[in-house]
Amino acid sequence: MTQLALVIDLNVCVGCHACVTSCKEWNTSGEAGFMSDDNPYDRDPTGTFFNRVQTFEVGEFPNTQTVHFPKSCLHCEDPPCVPVCPTGASYKRPEDGIVLVDYDKCIGCKYCSWACPYGVRELDEHQKVMKKCTLCVDRITDTRLPEAERKPACVLACPTSARLYGDIHDEESVVSKAIREAAGYTLMPEWGTQPANHYLPRRKTEMRIHEDELERADNPLKIDGRKPKPGLRDPSLDDVTSW
Amino acid sequence: MNPAFSVVFLTTLIGAGQGLVLGLFVVEARAAAGLLAAPSTTLYVAGCVLALLLLAAGLLASFFHLGHPERAWRAAAMWRTSWLSREVIVLPAFMAAVTVYGWAHWQGLPGTLWIGGLAAALCLALFLCTGMIYACIRFLQEWATPLTLVNFTLIGCASGVVLLTALAAALGEPLVEVVGAWALGLTVAGLVTRSAALWRNARLKPRSTLQTAIGVKHPRIVQKAQGFMGGSFNTREFFHGRGPGTLRAVKWLFIIAGFVLPLLLLAGGLAVSSPALLWLAVLLQFAGLTAERWFFFAQANHPQNLYYQAVS
Amino acid sequence: MNAPLESPPAVAETRNTTCYMCACRCGIRVHLKNGEVRYIEGNPEHPLNKGVICAKGASGIMKQYSPARLTRPLRRKAGAERGAGEFEPISWDEAFSIMEERLRKIRSTDPKKFALFTGRDQMQALTGMFARQFGTPNYAAHGGFCSVNMAAGMIYTIGGSFWEFGGPDLDRAKLFVMIGTAEDHHSNPLKIAISKFKRRGGRFISVNPVRTGYSAIADEWVPIRPGTDGALLLALTHEILNTGLYDRAFLARYSNAGYLINTDPASPEQGMPVCSGATAKGDNPEHRHDQLWWDRLSGRAVPNHTPGADPALLGAYRLDDGTPVKPAFQLLLERVKEYTPEWAEGITGIPAARIRRLAHEMGITARDQRIELPIAWTDSWGQEHDTVTGNPVAFHAMRGLAAHSNGFQTVRALAVLMSVLGTIDRPGGFRHKAPFPRAIPPMAKPPKGPEAVQPDTPLAGLALGWPAGPDDLSIDADGGPLRIDKAFSWEYPLAVHGMMHNVITNAWRGDPYRIDTLMIFMANMAWNSTMNTVEVRKMLNDRDEQGEYKIPFLIVCDAFQSEMTAFADLVLPDTTYLERHDVMSMLDRPISEFDGPVDSVRIPVLPPKGECKPFQEVLIELGTRLKFPAFTDKEGARKYRDYPDFIVNFETEPGSGIGFLAGWRGRGGEKAMVGEPNPRQWAMYEKNNCVFHHVLPRSYQYMRNWNQGYHEWAQRTRVRRYTDPIVIQIYSEVLQKFRMAAEGRGPSKRRPPEHLRERLMIYCDPLPFYYAPLEVQATDTARYPLAAITQRPMAMYHSWDSQNAWLRQIHAHNYLFINEKTATSLGIADDDWIWVESMHGRVRCMCRVSEAVEPGTVWTWNAIGKAQGAWGLAPDANEAQRGFLLNHVIAEELPAAEGRRMSNSDPVTGQAGWYDVRVRIRKAAADEPAETSPQFAPLPAAPGTGRVRKLWQAFVAGKGEFK
């Protein structure tokens, strides 16, 4: 069984928000549209987005990490938002594991959003239905697009390729390998939702310097006479002892 | 959570209606068993009408919660998995049973006890459904406890039976003291179990933390930006935006107005046989229980709020 | 989402062009539906962004359909105050007549009374040409207040720079060191490169007072006090030199480290390299190549690069004529002697041991991880090399390093450190991008004096250029400045990008003179592009005793209703990037890659909105009406139909074959770089993703300062006139020439005014040195202890995007970030309203406590705050009510000393010292209004802009609701 998912590499995410607006741009005119904006040019502008990038500070100065954290629907393997839906509008596609909302069935009761611990569903204030990341289902399944472009908009946009996309049930997929090799983890594992989306943690490259690397035979200071050999006639033990 | 008044009214109103019907059925059952002098038909009919009014008002309130109320009928579809769907089925069924129950009494038809029994069963089922809507969300730890079911049921019953008491008093029914005693008992029981829930929730340790939310193992994590500044559905729906002081005030308000004062008024009203005091108890309790239900939602700390704490 | 794909294709038409949501210039594919933009995505076939796009680029739709767009030419209403934003619409004919009449009069009397300054434009080759043809020296783009220190400091040292001119080769680097904020230029390519670098296990160190942006993913964050980077770089150099971790062979052959400098205090030539007088190598008459080495093998002085010789880099020697000399490298070693890590610790706040370790990491990585590529090449002195060597330590810096008044010498220190590590135009280090490297300095020179400015005559010289000594300054007989901004004067001799930040103040004061017409393109000089915003806004509206405006006529061209357009007498509505032709030209700032020249174009995807007209068309029309020689033939008739026609057919000189675009030249498009105009050039660009990429042979891709083959190619393709080597200037001869003039000696007859002599002697030091920024020197730091700086939010570039309904949801207002301990000591907590006060002004804003900022620094996002009503926003929008500008507390001038006012700028380059301000912070009183201060009267919507703001909107392409 296929389970499509995103794997987000926090090791390279610089928090540029490219995934946020490319998502909005694709989807507001797409099958998932529209994504309304309230007060677009007034106080407290607010709108529907499927994807947000957040910023956290970890630790205390000077040992501080700034973590940029993109978050969208995690397409849980056991999605708590699906069984609670009274109309069946919220569903998980058996063929690829994408969790979707059928806007024609959604009554806008918001119960699915209550049942999502991750806060990734947003009720569109004007279409009055629950919306969420569709994994750009209208891109990835559109055979009219070239194969390389059948990916979610955020994945194509991401300048640091921090968003990997693929089938986590396929052991050989790029996402499975990344999860396996770079310690991929899921969010809030305590609820057993088995999010399909995974995150890759920060990794740190350090450099070890050995003492002797500073003292080398080819040190140019020797050529430039700053570490001169003593002159042959300079005093030595030879001059003063005979044993 | 940010309490939605549609849901607050839905649950308090139908709770009272359910309690009222359950009270009527118990009265009829005990009367049938000879444990109680049978009340007048008027009590049954008036009780059922009152209950139906409450249930209808609750149902009406619930429509205000929906983005697309015109599609509400679709909500019956997923009864296999969704407690909400089950509630959507059981509530009208219950209302129908109450209608038949009241009509049967009015018409003096036989078998009202059986109809009442069916209504009572549906009533309990409805308590179960309503309670489970909240109790089944396991990461809303304040709700995910049997106490939620117990409280919805006891509080509904208490408010319904207090109403029954006032109604009985207003109709001059002799069983007012018996029912009044039940009302006192149920209100005390509700206070006890609701207090137990408060006690439990005050000691809850959130299972989700910022550490599990973003998967970074460090004792000190602080959000600096939630990714947008003008708010979103996620900042509006899941947090009431009020300080802990307000919550504390509402808590004491509902304890006093929803339980303590109604108890005193009930006791007083029964002692001096004053329907006015009993009606006052009904109104005050209803207001107090509205506050209780507001608090029930407000106190529930949704783990998604971990992700929405700061703008910059 | 029930039935995806049952609808017809979402996209009807796709067109390629180039993004302009920031200066990065990525290739984009714009999808249209019923004439509306459906979707903008990165072009996967574009060499710059390889298909990716950023938050801004993906929000282009909301820029295109912003209600803040100007759509008609506007004239200030008679009697309305400047800044009030009251306009009446006029026709383009009227607008052109007004400009033509006014400019013709100026041009025929005193052309310098017309000043053209442009902001974030990407057409400096054209705007500069317009100014030159007009005959005014008063032209510049915004480089002077952006990052000119970066360009000048590095180009005067290694002949190239970060910016569009070169960058870190992260493909092969092992260690990457980024210093200061650098998120704003070349952003997508850098993001792509950094992520690949990190994935490959490269080590990334970020030196920055603040940990945001790219610094967030650094393996190590080194917090530093703002403005002290020079001290760190010099201490690193100290440690690298004293541990012998420098690349001796590289320095000896490719830099002037071995050149012998005259150290005889009695000699008039003291401080200059000693030359042999032998026939100079190379063909460049303006650059000598006969400096002497001390050959350590034969123990005597020889002309540099004598075959078989190896220069001594250290020591003191005496020439045959008794002249005492030292190799330049010895002088560098002496210079950094005092700059110990312990010394730097006290200045930078970075522990000495850490500085040592960083130096060791750089030196050891450079030495022990050396790359050898099997690429044979020949150097400028004829020596053949079998391999290209790389020392894989790469650096990157931009504005964070540059925007200090000590930035030039700091950037020099960085370039010297990079050179000492042997990383210049080598794999894994710094790599040039065509047309760089240039000669040091580049050949273009500014006008040398008032005689260059004549009525009805083009300017003699380029408005902007690269002085090689005092003789190249733009000064009058008394040493006074020729330019309104005083660039290229003794005050700021190497102000190679001009000094836009002083234009309004100088013109207002009439110092050095009054001007008549100031034309501003795409620069918000009444808001975030100016220092001292409150006062500058007053100057723009100030009148003399006769009631005349001190700056008599203001023309502003912009696509949006900004704070600046409100002050204009004449507003010209520009197009957006989706509505215009543009060129990213080799004559300007092309988008070249390390492997060869790349230029690109924009091709209109949509028709212009309303009466919008691209600024280029305005310039060509004006230039034609004014009969500039470049735009008219001998009879004064129009030469070019329009901008696209101009781009195709213009040649720098008749028959030169050099034009704005390097690709598909020649009649049939068969030639590259040089060739006859090709009438089908636009179409060929369009067919090729709007980009021309000429990949050089591998042997021409490295070591281009000294690569004979590359130089011959560059000469053939007219990228360079000469083929002489570009020797790294560890020791700067140019600076020494200015210093000698100040000392009253040297080859130039020009002498600075008395009051500037000491300044020039100090700051025109031929070796990098550290000094506290001038603003800091003039501040009582006990009263104003905190450094206040800005960072660039990646989703909101400069001020370009507050009109963007999507991006402004991400950054609607801004906070001042304060270190947690600093905030606690001041009794301030999150969300408190606070006053930020410098000795120049104050702002009220909100506090955000942070652990990711150095305790002596406070910072905020740049240019989020807006004036009420500007950019199509409601007066109560967050940007105006809770957003603020740090600009209000930053002055464009230093406090007057001895009655003289100097710009708050680098004393060498005139780079605006944005990041030098020192502030103090106190909590606002409880009864103060919860809004930022200062506030300004709200601007009304200008005629032609979207007057009615929607309460909500939902963009769906193709419905025609947003056209």
ipTM: 0.95
Residue in C809, C814, C848 nearest the CB of B228: C809
Token code pair at residue B70: 């015109």
Domain ranges of chain B: 5-307
SS3 content of chain C, % helix, strand, coil (to 5): 30, 20, 55
Look at residue C13 and tell me whether its pLDDT is greater than 70. yes
Residues near A7 by Cβ (< 8 Å), separated by ≥ 6? A163, A164, A165, A166, A168, A175, A178, A179, A184, A197, A198, A199, A200
In this structure, the dihedral spanned by the alpha carbons of residues A12, A14, A15 and A16, taken in order and rounded to 10 degrees, is: -120
Q: Which pLDDT does position C280 carry in this prediction?
A: 57
| CB-based contact B71 A87, cutoff 8 Å | yes
Q: Which residues of C touch B228 (CB under 8 A)?
A: 809-810
Q: Which pLDDT does position C10 carry in this prediction?
A: 52
Residue-wise pLDDT for A32-75, tens only, equals 889 999 999 999 999 999 999 999 999 999 999 999 999 999 99
Q: Is B204 on the interface with A (CB under 8 A)?
A: no
Tell me how far apart the alpha carbons of residues A85 and A112 are, in angstroms, rounded to a whole number. Answer: 6
Q: Is residue A220 classed as helix, strand or coil in its secondary structure?
A: helix
Cα dihedral B197, B198, B200, B201 sign: positive
| CB-based contact C812 B312, cutoff 8 Å | no
Tell me how far apart the alpha carbons of residues B88 and C400 are, in angstroms, rounded to a whole number. Answer: 61
Residue-wise pLDDT for C52-61, tens only, equals 999 999 999 9
| CB-based contact A40 C949, cutoff 8 Å | yes
Residue-wise pLDDT for C235-286, tens only, equals 999 999 999 999 999 999 999 999 999 999 999 999 999 998 876 556 788 8
Q: Which residues of A touch B220 (CB under 8 A)?
A: 58-60
- Which of B232, B236, B308, B312 is the best mutation test for A, with the most CBs of A within 10 A? B232
Place of tokens 């369009």: C686
Residue in C54, C199, C950 nearest the CB of A40: C950
| CB-based contact B227 A117, cutoff 8 Å | no
Window from A223-237, B272-286, C490-504 with minimum mean pLDDT? A223-237
Chain A from 127 to 146: CB within 8 A of any C CB: 127, 134, 137-138, 141-142, 144
| CB-based contact A31 C873, cutoff 8 Å | no
Look at residue C2 and tell me whether its pLDDT is greater than 70. no
Look at residue C186 and tell me whether its pLDDT is greater than 80. yes
**Of C599, C598, C902, whose CA–CA distance to C777 is shortest?**
C902
Q: Which residues of C touch A148 (CB under 8 A)?
A: 44
Chain B from 136 to 165: CB within 8 A of any A CB: 136-140
Convert C188-205 to b/e letters by CB count within 10 Å (16 or more is b).
Answer: bbbbbbbbebbeeebbbb
Pick the CATH number of C13-53 from 1.25.40.10, 3.40.50.620, 2.20.25.90, 1.20.120.530: 2.20.25.90
CB C752, CB C490: distance < 8 Å? yes
Tell me how far apart the alpha carbons of residues B179 and B173 are, in angstroms, rounded to a whole number. Answer: 10
Residue-wise pLDDT for C407-419, tens only, equals 999 999 999 999 9
Phi, psi of B221 (to 5 degrees): -125, 130
**Of C344, C470, C351, whose CA–CA distance to C413 is shortest?**
C344
Q: Give me Rg for the CA atoms of chain A.
A: 28
Residue in A68, A156, A161 nearest the CB of C41: A156
Residue in B138, B225, B312 nearest the CB of A191: B138
Residue-wise pLDDT for C506-554, tens only, equals 999 999 999 999 999 999 999 999 999 999 999 999 999 999 999 999 9
Which CATH class for the C159-435+726-732 domain? alpha beta
Q: What percent of chain C has pLDDT over 90?
A: 91
Give the count of alpha carbons within 13 A of C899, CB side only.
1
The stretch C662-666 carries a mean pLDDT of 96
Look at residue C9 and tell me whether its pLDDT is greater than 60. no
- Residue A212 CB-density burial (10 A; 0-12 exposed, 13-18 middle, 19+ buried): exposed
Q: Which pLDDT does position C122 carry in this prediction?
A: 80
C960/B80: higher pLDDT: B80
Domain ranges of chain C: 13-53, 74-149+448-578, 159-435+726-732
> How far does the CA of residue A175 sit from the closest CA of chain B (Å)?
18
Residue-wise pLDDT for B155-193, tens only, equals 999 999 999 999 999 999 999 999 999 999 999 999 999
Side chain identity at residue C609, one-letter code:
K
Residue in B69, B81, B224 nearest the CB of A83: B81
Q: Nearest residue on chain B to C883, judged by CA atoms?
A: B312
Tell me how far apart the alpha carbons of residues A44 and A28 are, in angstroms, rounded to a whole number. Answer: 20
CA distances from residue C807 to A82, A127, B102, C577, C871 in whole angstroms, order as listed? 32, 22, 60, 17, 13
User: Domain limits at A171?
Assistant: 4-200
Q: Which residues of B touch A54 (CB under 8 A)?
A: 223, 225-227, 307
Residues near C599 by Cβ (< 8 Å), separated by ≥ 6? C583, C584, C585, C586, C590, C591, C592, C661, C662, C663, C691, C692
Residue in B220, B227, B230 nearest the CB of C878: B230
Phi, psi of C41 (to 5 degrees): -130, 160
Residue-wise pLDDT for C734-781, tens only, equals 999 999 999 999 889 999 999 999 999 999 999 999 999 999 999 999
Q: Which residues of A touch C313 (CB under 8 A)?
A: 220, 224
- Which of B78, B229, B296 is the best mutation test for A, with the most CBs of A within 10 A? B78
Residue in C813, C817, C852 nearest the CB of B229: C813
In this structure, the dihedral spanned by the alpha carbons of residues B86, B87, B93 and B94, taken in order and rounded to 10 degrees, is: 140
Q: Is A228 on the interface with C (CB under 8 A)?
A: no
Place of tokens 């005390």: B188
Q: What percent of chain C has pLDDT over 70?
A: 98
What CATH number was assigned to the domain covering residues C74-149+448-578? 3.40.50.740
- Residue B170 CB-density burial (10 A; 0-12 exposed, 13-18 middle, 19+ buried): middle
Tell me how far apart the alpha carbons of residues C528 and B13 are, in angstroms, rounded to a whole number. Answer: 57
Look at residue C5 and tell me whether its pLDDT is greater than 50. no
Q: Which pLDDT does position C164 carry in this prediction?
A: 84
Q: Is C848 on the interface with B (CB under 8 A)?
A: yes
| CB-based contact B230 C851, cutoff 8 Å | no
Q: Are strands C553-558 and C388-390 parallel, antiparallel or unpaired?
A: unpaired
Q: Which residues of B touch A118 (CB under 8 A)?
A: 304, 307
Q: Is residue C231 classed as helix, strand or coil in its secondary structure?
A: helix
Neighbouring subunits of B (3+ Cβ pairs under 8 A):
A, C
pLDDT band for position C963 (cuts 50, 70, 90): confident
pLDDT band for position C11 (cuts 50, 70, 90): low
Average pLDDT for chain B:
96
CB C856, CB C817: distance < 8 Å? no
Q: How many CB pairs below 8 Å do chains B and C form together?
A: 21
| CB-based contact A47 C809, cutoff 8 Å | yes
Look at residue C220 and tell me whether its pLDDT is greater than 90. yes
Single pTM value for the model: 0.96
Convert C543-563 to b/e letters by CB count within 10 Å (16 or more is b).
Answer: eeeeeebbbbbbbbbbbbbbb
| CB-based contact C314 A33, cutoff 8 Å | no
Q: Distance of alpha carbon B185 from its chain centroid, rounded?
A: 17
**A61 inside domain:** yes
CB C508, CB C543: distance < 8 Å? no
Tell me how far apart the alpha carbons of residues B84 and B131 are, in angstroms, rounded to a whole number. Answer: 10
CATH of the domain at A35: 3.30.70.20
Q: Which pLDDT does position A225 carry in this prediction?
A: 78
Neighbouring subunits of A (3+ Cβ pairs under 8 A):
B, C
Q: Distance of alpha carbon A103 from its chain centroid, rounded?
A: 28
Look at residue A228 and tell me whether its pLDDT is greater than 70. no
CB A154, CB A1: distance < 8 Å? no
Q: Which residues of C touch B224 (CB under 8 A)?
A: 848, 850, 852
Q: Nearest residue on chain B to A203, judged by CA atoms?
A: B216
Give the count of alpha carbons within 13 A of C580, CB side only.
23
Domain count, chain A: 1
Give the count of alpha carbons within 13 A of B191, CB side only.
19
CB C906, CB C404: distance < 8 Å? yes
Window from A146-150, B59-63, C187-191, C947-951 with minimum mean pLDDT? C947-951
> How far does the CA of residue A2 sit from the closest CA of chain B (Å)?
23
Q: Which pLDDT does position A202 carry in this prediction?
A: 96
Q: Is B234 on the interface with A (CB under 8 A)?
A: yes
CA angle A101, A105, A107 (to 5 degrees): 95
Tell me how far apart the alpha carbons of residues C601 and C253 are, in angstroms, rounded to a whole number. Answer: 40
What CATH number was assigned to the domain covering residues B5-307? 1.20.1630.10
- Which of A41, A48, A109 is the best mutation test for B, with the most CBs of B within 10 A? A109
**Of C75, C59, C219, whose CA–CA distance to C803 is shortest?**
C59
Residue-wise pLDDT for C685-727, tens only, equals 999 999 999 999 999 999 999 999 999 999 999 999 999 999 9
Residues near B80 by Cβ (< 8 Å), separated by ≥ 6? none
Residue in B66, B81, B224 nearest the CB of A107: B66
Residue-wise pLDDT for C783-809, tens only, equals 999 999 999 899 987 667 889 999 999
- Residue B4 CB-density burial (10 A; 0-12 exposed, 13-18 middle, 19+ buried): middle
Tell me how far apart the alpha carbons of residues B8 and B291 are, in angstroms, rounded to a whole number. Answer: 9
Neighbouring subunits of C (3+ Cβ pairs under 8 A):
A, B
Tell me how far apart the alpha carbons of residues A100 and C452 are, in angstroms, rounded to a whole number. Answer: 70
Q: Is A122 on the interface with C (CB under 8 A)?
A: no
pLDDT band for position A229 (cuts 50, 70, 90): low
CA distances from residue B191 to B10, B268, C886 in whole angstroms, order as listed? 21, 18, 57
CA distances from residue C949 to A84, C66, C871 in whole angstroms, order as listed? 39, 10, 12
| CB-based contact C806 A37, cutoff 8 Å | yes
